[in-house]
Amino acid sequence: MVGNITLTMIKPTAVKKGFIGPILAKIAEGGFKIVAMKFTRLSLEQAQKFYEVHKERPFYGELTEFMSSGPIVAAVLEKDNAVQAYREYIGATDPAKAAEGTIRALYGTNLGENAVHGSDSDENAHIESYFFFSELERF
């Protein structure tokens, strides 16, 4: 299992702009298999828990308020070397600096509202997957 899954979220602005469909199509096009998925909304407390690793960063308040501001789509994606492959596929954190054709370049709005989340390590991919999904919800 280790090394073949990553956790993504389609962030509130991308959902509001109607980009769920295009982003899921792009995820499929990249060869990522959806093994769990839900449309949900995080409370501020849940967003603070999800992003706990960033709690000392200056943007923690802005980030957690934004991520709890509207519905999101959370999904577990499977592919060889999923964490690194997906981070390359979504592009740099700032959509303005993301490579052409990447998900953040195509669907991101700005540095904070950058369309999607992607796990940064295999360990965090597993922690984040269990944050959203039980065994019964993973296929």
Minimum gap (Å) between residue 124 Cβ and ligand ADP: 10
Minimum gap (Å) between residue 135 Cβ and Mg ion: 25
- Asked whether the beta carbons of 97 and 111 are under 8 A apart, the reply is no
Nearer to Mg ion, 85 or 139 (CB): 85
Ramachandran category for residue 91: left, alpha or beta (phi over 0 → left; psi -120 to 50 → alpha): left
Length of the chain: 139
If binding means CB under 6 A, how many residues of this protein chain bind ligand ADP? 9
Nearer to ligand ADP, 48 or 136 (CB): 48
Position 78: which residue type?
Answer: E
Is position 112 an interface residue for ligand ADP (rule: CB under 6 A)?
yes
Q: Is 126 a catalytic residue?
A: no
Quote the CA–CA distance of 31 and 14 in Å, as a whole number.
21
What single DSSP character describes residue 11?
-
Minimum gap (Å) between residue 14 Cβ and Mg ion: 16
Is position 63 an interface residue for ligand ADP (rule: CB under 6 A)?
yes
Q: Which helix (H) or strand (E) holds 12?
A: helix 12-16
Stretch that binds ligand ADP, among 1-9, 19-27, 110-118, 129-137 (CB under 6 A): 110-118
Angle between helices 122-132 and 82-90 (to 10 degrees): 80
Please pick, among 114, 117, 128, 133, the residue that the annotation labels catalytic: 117
Is position 102 an interface residue for ligand ADP (rule: CB under 6 A)?
no
Q: What values do phi and psi take at 7, rounded to 5?
A: -110, 130
Binding site for ligand ADP (CB under 6 A): 59, 62-63, 93, 111-112, 114, 117, 120
Q: Catalytic residue numbers?
A: 117
